[in-house]
Amino acid sequence: MSGTTDPRAPLDTQVVVVGAGPVGLLLAGELRLGGADVVVLERLTEPSQESRATTLHARTMELFDQRGLLDRIGPMPPCDPRGHFGGIPMDLGGVDSAYAGQWKVPQTRTREVLLEWATELGAEVRAGHELVALTQDGDRVLAGVRTAEGRTLRIGCAYLVGCDGEDSTVRRLAAFAFPGVDATRELLRADVAGIDIPDRRFERFPDGLAIAGRRPDGVTRVMVHRFGRPAVRRTAEPEFAEVVAVWREVTGEDIGSGTPLWVNAFGDARRQADRYRMGRVLLAGDAAHVQMPVGGQALNLGLQDAANLGWKLAAEVAGRAPERLLDTYHEERHAVGRQVLDNIAAQSAVLLGGGEVSALRTVLAELLRHDSAVRQLAGRISGVDLRSAGAAGASDRPWSGARLAPAELVTGPGAVTSTTQLLRAGSGLLIDTDPDAPGHAELRAQAALWADRVRVVVAGAAPDSEPARLGAVLVRPDGHIAWARAEGPAAALDALRRWFGAPRALDTVAGAKGRAAPGGARTARPAERTAAGPAGTSAHVPPSRRQKMGTLENKTALVTGSSRGIGRAVAERLAAEGALVVVHYARNKEAAEDTVSGIRAGGGRAFAVRATLGAAGDVDALFDGVEEGLKEHTGGVELDIVVNNAGIMGGVSPEDTTPELFDRLVAVNAKAPFFIVQRALRTLRDGGRIINITSGLTRFANPEEIAYAMTKGAVETMARHYAKHLAGRGITVNSVAPGVTNNGGEIFDDPQAVQFMAQLSAFNRVGEPSDIADVVAFLASDASRWITGAFVDATGGTLL
Ligand code: NAP
């Protein structure tokens, strides 16, 4: 890539993230979830194998659950409820979270999981790319990059985020002020094989502090500090001999016979960027704040920065962010960072202090025998009580700015989900657990104007759960509460506008004078993207799908009868728009698999499910397969689009139509679609789409197909009624009526027959499956939101 220097040239990407550690990768995934193009630059050619941080706290576990990442980590990691405050034991198990406690996941594993997730979502990670220059103007940021092979290139983007750690190059190049204090004391740390010493949890000796923990693999992590020993200004990591010497001075033990695997030192430095955003450049994680990594809070704080920033920045680059949304990132996270840094500074004072802090430690230990004191500190350390800024002082509204405590929800008969599952799509949520209460129907109807950004969910919840206690609650994509019923309906609309922008209809009207998406329309993919990338690049996502975001990104679709014919074209079209498609079929497994592999080869996502419609138990069998597959692919079972396409024809005169044939036509073409819709409603998201493929024969006559045409007429009638029933949830229901369409059947090999069929259409040709698929794709998209209960003639003007 030669580089982009012309300021009028298109941008290479919308967001550049510098640093492919856990924070940068979580941010990249969040940005993709919000639809932003993102390139992650990583200086290293191979990921670091050091697991500096090994603890995930409750709030981070909730955030990972919100994105389906826990399933990817594998079996639940070991949990230790025993926390500490500056080395004074304190139980973290009482925090109000399903994930109370400390979860032990090596940082290398966290990074692997986040890399896989972000690249699957389409983030491009470039290893061996070091940021060496940075300029920004009103419209763009230009990043100068040197590759491991020694090439230089420039990447233009709308925003750049530094997630490049303590020694952040972004922070330095963009000249962020980084006030604070250098380390005065330090802990030496080493992972050592081949030693056998007792485990020690913050054991205090007369001359110092010693910590030792043997891992299942036999390696012991030791940490040691000698009281009064000042931090050393280091240009390299300490030698193992230094650790051995200090360990001996403090404990009297000799660990010199062990083999050091990794040695480092960390001090009690404390710094925080005075701003997390300067124009188009932002900081997150250790790049924004340096603190002693005590109790695993540093990594967790950084990951929570990324979760706060991702959806806001994605909305900003898409041009849908309300005024000042992006500024709230600094406001919220800088304030939280200050609180955490205070907490850590207090802990390091009592941890690393010698005899002078003994009295203080005694008093603190006494306080920590009281539940309320433990709750207060554990809530902070675990991250579950860290409220967004602006909520300070709102003590009469304990929910304000807080995260919604995860809870199970029942959305229909037998349909159990959870708040974290519902957040997986990355949109906002309005959860109504008291739907018949005065004003709630109006509230839901108003919120439907934001259906493309906020999902409205009516659900039952356990009486002591937070959704039930709040009655109705608006939740941001990061899981924080934006509004609750006690604030009143006017505040709900304010909150919807404040966090999600103008309602869709008004937005469209005002579109002409609306803000242009910064870089949105001008983004081109960097030319280098197709070049062979270093290890860890986004090999999972073929180029065709990475080049643009479709209209159905993050949607899920079921297309019945999509192994061949019209259904196959519909499945391919919806997948090309970004939907994960369930390819349903009855008998022809090979054709279904061919459809799935064709979609995957084009960079789309699909899986096949077999179920014979018209047979006993058909709909249950279908949905068992659909939900199992969806769960595997998305972690949830929710559908956005249902296309009732599978159908059979009669092809016999009325005289020869037997009751058995009639029943079969009704069972497959009319009864199955009715019960498919009924069953789908349990998991169909608000704002969803139901599209039925009917037939032009409901409008013009063909005596060979009376019974068939009757079944299609029944489906069109069904669509009208369901449309009325489901409008309150923003779900549209429409029918598309094809005329003669080349489904690859034998008759289309007969030129005379084709000529006869062609002249029925005003365009003098037979329809192609793609003619129908395009109409279905439109009805599946947000662009059709104002059409429901409609019959769309897609017969190419047959018999006009
Ligand atoms: P097609 O080529 O015959 O394909 C039918 C699809 O439906 C196949 O995927 C088939 O699966 C599936 N299917 C058939 N019977 C099923 C059953 N009992 N249970 C589950 N799946 C079943 O169909 P098409 O011509 O594309 O037609 C698609 C839709 O458009 C139908 O509803 C049809 O009535 C309507 N339509 C078609 C035309 C036309 O000219 N083609 C015109 C107007 C309307 P297997 O592969 O496993 O058999």
- Which pLDDT does position 762 carry in this prediction? 92
Return d(Cα 575, Cα 555) in angstroms, integer: 9
Which CATH number belongs to the domain containing residue 454 in this structure? Answer: 3.40.30.120
Q: Which of 110, 124, 109, 107 shows the shortest CA–CA distance to 29?
A: 124
3-state secondary structure of 439: coil
Return d(Cα 673, Cα 688) in angstroms, integer: 16
* Same domain for 450 and 429: yes
Sorted by sequence, the CB contacts under 8 Å of residue 342 that are 6+ apart come out as: none
Mutate-to-test residue for ligand 1 from 596, 645, 669, highest number of ligand atoms within 8 A of CB: 645
Return d(Cα 791, Cα 551) in angstroms, integer: 22
Mutate-to-test residue for ligand 1 from 669, 693, 775, highest number of ligand atoms within 8 A of CB: 693
Tokens, residue 314: 């994605």
Mutate-to-test residue for ligand 1 from 558, 560, 562, 564, highest number of ligand atoms within 8 A of CB: 564
Q: Which of 652, 641, 729, 632 shows the shortest CA–CA distance to 677?
A: 641
* Same domain for 283 and 238: no
* CA torsion through residues 748, 752, 756, 762, sign: positive
* Same domain for 28 and 133: yes
Q: Which of 542, 545, 574 shows the shortest CA–CA distance to 560?
A: 574
Neighbours of 587 (CB within 10 A): 10
* Same domain for 367 and 257: no
Q: Is the CB of 689 under 6 A from ligand 1?
A: no
Residue 611 lies in a domain: no
Return d(Cα 725, Cα 198) in angstroms, integer: 68
Residue 605 lies in a domain: no
Return d(Cα 210, Cα 196) in angstroms, integer: 15
Residue 614 lies in a domain: no
Return d(Cα 586, Cα 593) in angstroms, integer: 12
Determine the residue type at 568: R
- Count of alpha carbons within 13 angstroms of residue 25, beta-carbon side: 29
Residue 602 lies in a domain: no
Residue closest by Cα to atom 31 of ligand 1: 647
Q: Which residue has the tokens 């489906």?
A: 715
List phi, psi (to 5°) of 66.
Answer: -60, -20
- Which pLDDT does position 466 carry in this prediction? 95
Interval between CA 718 and ligand 1 midpoint (Å): 19
- Count of alpha carbons within 13 angstroms of residue 97, beta-carbon side: 30
Q: Which residue has the tokens 């129908």?
A: 772
H/E element holding 791? strand 791-794
Of 349, 382, 415, the residue at which a domain comes to its end is 382
Of 267, 293, 313, the residue at which a domain comes to its end is 267
Atom of ligand 1 nearest to the CA of 712: 34
Residue closest by Cα to atom 18 of ligand 1: 613
Q: Is the CB of 645 under 6 A from ligand 1?
A: yes
Q: Is the CB of 693 under 6 A from ligand 1?
A: yes
* Same domain for 119 and 146: yes
Tokens, residue 797: 């003007």
Interval between CA 607 and ligand 1 midpoint (Å): 18
Tokens, residue 517: 């998406």
Interval between CA 562 and ligand 1 midpoint (Å): 8
User: Are 43 and 187 in contact, with CB atoms under 8 Å apart?
Assistant: no
Interval between CA 652 and ligand 1 midpoint (Å): 17
Mutate-to-test residue for ligand 1 from 572, 648, 676, 712, highest number of ligand atoms within 8 A of CB: 648
3-class DSSP string for 573-618? HHHHCCCEEEEEECCCHHHHHHHHHHHHHCCCEEEEEECCCCCCCH
State the 10-residue block means of pLDDT for the chain, 800 residues long. Answer: 45 94 97 95 84 83 95 82 89 88 89 95 95 92 95 95 97 97 95 95 95 92 95 91 97 96 93 97 97 86 97 95 95 94 94 95 95 90 77 63 92 83 92 93 87 88 95 96 94 94 56 34 32 25 40 94 97 94 95 91 89 93 94 89 97 90 96 96 94 96 93 97 92 97 90 88 92 96 94 94
3-state secondary structure of 544: helix
Which CATH number belongs to the domain containing residue 364 in this structure? Answer: 3.50.50.60
* Residue 712, domain extent: 552-596+641-794
DSSP letter string, 390-437 = T-TT-TT-TTTTSBPPP-EEEEETTEEEEHHHHGGGS-EEEEES-TTS
Residue ranges in 448-519 assigned as alpha helix (H): 466-470, 489-500, 504-509
Return d(Cα 478, Cα 62) in angstroms, integer: 10
* Same domain for 378 and 396: no
* Same domain for 556 and 431: no
Which CATH number belongs to the domain containing residue 557 in this structure? Answer: 3.40.50.720
User: Are 156 and 141 in contact, with CB atoms under 8 Å apart?
Assistant: yes
User: Are 762 and 797 in contact, with CB atoms under 8 Å apart?
Assistant: yes
Atom of ligand 1 nearest to the CA of 766: 40
Of 210, 243, 267, the residue at which a domain comes to its end is 267
Residue 411 lies in a domain: yes
Distances in Å between the Cα of 322 and the Cα atoms of 13, 305, 312, 315 are 22, 20, 9, 8
Which CATH number belongs to the domain containing residue 229 in this structure? Answer: 3.30.70.2450
* Same domain for 258 and 285: no
Residue 276 lies in a domain: yes
Bridge partners for 226 per DSSP? 208
Bridge partners for 798 per DSSP? 761
* Same domain for 165 and 42: yes
DSSP letter string, 104-144 = E--HHHHHHHHHHHHHHTT-EEETTEEEEEEEE-SS-EEEE
Residue 740 lies in a domain: yes
Please state the domain count of the chain: 4
The CA R_g of the chain, rounded to the nearest whole Å, is 30
* Same domain for 131 and 58: yes
* Same domain for 260 and 154: no
Instruction: Give the dihedral of Cα atoms 501, 505, 507, 508; nearest 10 deg.
Output: 150
Sorted by sequence, the CB contacts under 8 Å of residue 545 that are 6+ apart come out as: 122, 576, 578, 602, 603, 604
Q: Is the CB of 794 under 6 A from ligand 1?
A: no
Q: Which of 307, 314, 503, 309 shows the shortest CA–CA distance to 424?
A: 307
Strands (E), 659-731: 684-693
* Same domain for 201 and 261: yes
Residue 698 lies in a domain: yes
